[in-house]
Amino acid sequence: MRKTLAKRMAAMTIATAAFAAGAAAAQMPQASLRAGKHSIEAEVAANEANRRLGLMYRGNLPEGRGMVFVFTSDALICMWMKNTLIPLSVAFIDHEGRIINIEDMAAQSEDNHCAAKPARYALEMNQGWFAKHGIKAGDTVEGMKSLPQGR
């Protein structure tokens, strides 16, 4: 009986968090970016609350969609995947829109994945998206300058 109740409570907690994540996503601004000849529709996480939530509790991420994290200044930023249910790749990007490095991240991992040098942005896409589209370190992501300032 206790195990059943505990499982139900855990499921309710996850469902509540997923609902909250969906509601927060609906409030995040959207941006159109371009990497090479590939269009990206990205949710913009430009404030602390949205950066903290990121893509947590999402069951999927449609092809060509992602999330761009906008930071207040260039820094050696690191990302992790706590409560993130889908595997992702993250591109760390400098203030000019140039990709510094790309890291693959396993779902629900607390391992840190860090920029190789100070970055202003981090763009998360489905795992393997960058490799599948031939996007690599040194390439430029267009549209970064039109993003809101990080707060």
**pTM > 0.85: yes or no:** no
CB count within 10 Å of CB 71 equals 20
User: What is the per-residue pLDDT for 3?
Assistant: 53
pLDDT band at 27 (very low <50, low <70, confident <90, very high): confident
User: What are the Cα distances from residue 114, in Å, to 22, 23, 55, 103, 118?
Assistant: 26, 28, 17, 8, 10
What Rg, from alpha-carbon coordinates, does the chain have? 16
Q: HSE of 111 in the Cβ direction (CA atoms, 13 Å)?
A: 10
| Domains, the chain, with CATH or none | 2-146 (2.60.120.1140)
Least confidently predicted of 17-31, 53-67, 112-126: 17-31
Residue 41 has pLDDT above 60, yes or no: yes
Contact between residue 85 and residue 57 where contact means Cβ atoms under 8 Å apart: yes
